[in-house]
């Protein structure tokens, strides 16, 4: 794969700090950094191993050269014993050339050994740093997760409070509605009482009917009173008539008294 996805992934691993700030999870960044550090540590360790291998190879070569040098020395000694000085000289001159190579290799060996020690130390330090980073990374990640959880809890709380607010509103609405219904009921009672509304139950009376009832009730009382008076008077029809006549006279006189007032007006 060589498209955008792969390249973005590579860039992300390599850099993309801007993008990280904008969109990425910091925990993931930490994990990537840790991965990178581990890779770096691996490289350093590989370097140490390479240097150690070269050092060993040099040591082998040195041993070989020293062996050859000893051999040439022996050969020179034997040549001299046999009275062959020319051969002894040849052997010694070859040994001198070998000795030069040995000195060079020993210098190289020392340099490599120094490098190896430095790299080993660097690897140890890096290992310690990577370990420290891992601990720190886990702490940061835990803190981040906790902060996230806290935010979620906060959000949940605000959600709950919103819901509680809704419940409060519902109660308020119910109370309002009850009050409204009570007010309406009161108003209907008044309207029924006033006769502005008909009462389907037939129990309520309008004001006109009430007045008529009151008047007719009064008439009944008057009639009853007259009847009782008539009984007391002995039940004779003459008396009855006299009373009635008297009353009629009274009424007539009342009317006569009222008449001038009409005239006045």
Partner 1 sequence: MIVRIMGEGQVRLADDHLTELNKLDDELLAEMESGDEPGFRQTLAALLDAVRRLGSPLPDDSLEPSELILPAPDASLDEVRAMLSDDGLIPG
Which CB atom, from 32 or from 193, has the smaller least distance to partner 1? 32
CA atoms within 13 A on the CB side of 32: 16
- Smallest gap from Cβ 122 to partner 1, in A, equals 17
Which CB atom, from 27 or from 84, has the smaller least distance to partner 1? 27
- Smallest gap from Cβ 179 to partner 1, in A, equals 48
- Smallest gap from Cβ 157 to partner 1, in A, equals 19
Contacting positions for partner 1 (CB under 8 A): 1-9, 11-12, 14-19, 22-25, 27-28, 31-33, 35-36, 141, 145, 148
Tokens of 17: 């700090």
Which CB atom, from 134 or from 205, has the smaller least distance to partner 1? 134
Quote the distance between the C-alpha of residue 47 and its chain's center. 48
Which CB atom, from 30 or from 58, has the smaller least distance to partner 1? 30
Q: State the angle between helix axes of 85-194 and 26-81 in degrees (0 to 180), rounded to the nearest 10.
A: 170
Between the alpha carbon of residue 98 and those of residues 33, 55, 67, 194, 198, the distances in Å are 51, 19, 10, 139, 137
DSSP code per residue over 33-67: HHHHHHHHHHHHHHHHHHHHHHHHHHHHHHHHHHH
Which CB atom, from 7 or from 136, has the smaller least distance to partner 1? 7
Which CB atom, from 1 or from 81, has the smaller least distance to partner 1? 1
Between the alpha carbon of residue 93 and those of residues 69, 81, 87, 88, 101, the distances in Å are 10, 17, 10, 9, 13
- Smallest gap from Cβ 133 to partner 1, in A, equals 11
- Smallest gap from Cβ 12 to partner 1, in A, equals 5
Under DSSP, is residue 195 helix (H, G, I), strand (E, B) or coil? Answer: coil
Q: State the angle between helix axes of 237-264 and 207-232 in degrees (0 to 180), rounded to the nearest 10.
A: 140
- Smallest gap from Cβ 50 to partner 1, in A, equals 22
């Amino acid at each position: 794969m060589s498209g955008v996805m792969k390249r973005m992934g590579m860039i992300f691993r390599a850099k993309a700090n801007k993008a990280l700030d904008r969109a990425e999870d910091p925990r993931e960044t930490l994990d990537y950094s840790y991965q990178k550090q581990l890779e770096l540590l691996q490289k350093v360790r590989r370097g140490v191993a390479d240097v150690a291998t070269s050092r060993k190879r040099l040591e082998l070569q040195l041993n070989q050269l020293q062996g050859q040098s000893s051999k040439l020395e022996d050969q020179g000694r034997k040549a001299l014993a046999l009275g062959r000085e020319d051969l002894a000289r040849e052997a010694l001159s070859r040994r001198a050339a070998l000795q030069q190579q040995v000195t060079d290799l020993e210098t190289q060996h020392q340099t490599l050994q120094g490098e190896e020690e430095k790299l080993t130390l660097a690897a140890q330090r890096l290992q310690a740093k990577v370990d420290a980073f891992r601990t720190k990374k886990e702490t940061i990640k835990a803190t981040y997760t906790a902060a996230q959880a806290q935010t979620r809890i906060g959000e949940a709380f605000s959600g709950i409070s919103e819901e509680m607010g809704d419940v409060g509103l519902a109660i308020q609405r119910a109370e309002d509605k009850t009050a409204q219904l009570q007010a309406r009921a009161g108003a209907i009672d008044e309207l029924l009482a006033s006769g502005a509304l008909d009462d389907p139950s037939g129990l309520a009376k309008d004001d006109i009917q009430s007045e008529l009832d009151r008047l007719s009730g009064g008439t009944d009382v008057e009639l009853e009173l007259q009847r009782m008076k008539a009984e007391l008077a002995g039940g004779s029809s003459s008396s009855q008539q006299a009373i009635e006549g008297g009353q009629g006279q009274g009424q007539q006189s009342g009317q006569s008294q009222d008449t001038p007032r009409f005239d006045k007006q």
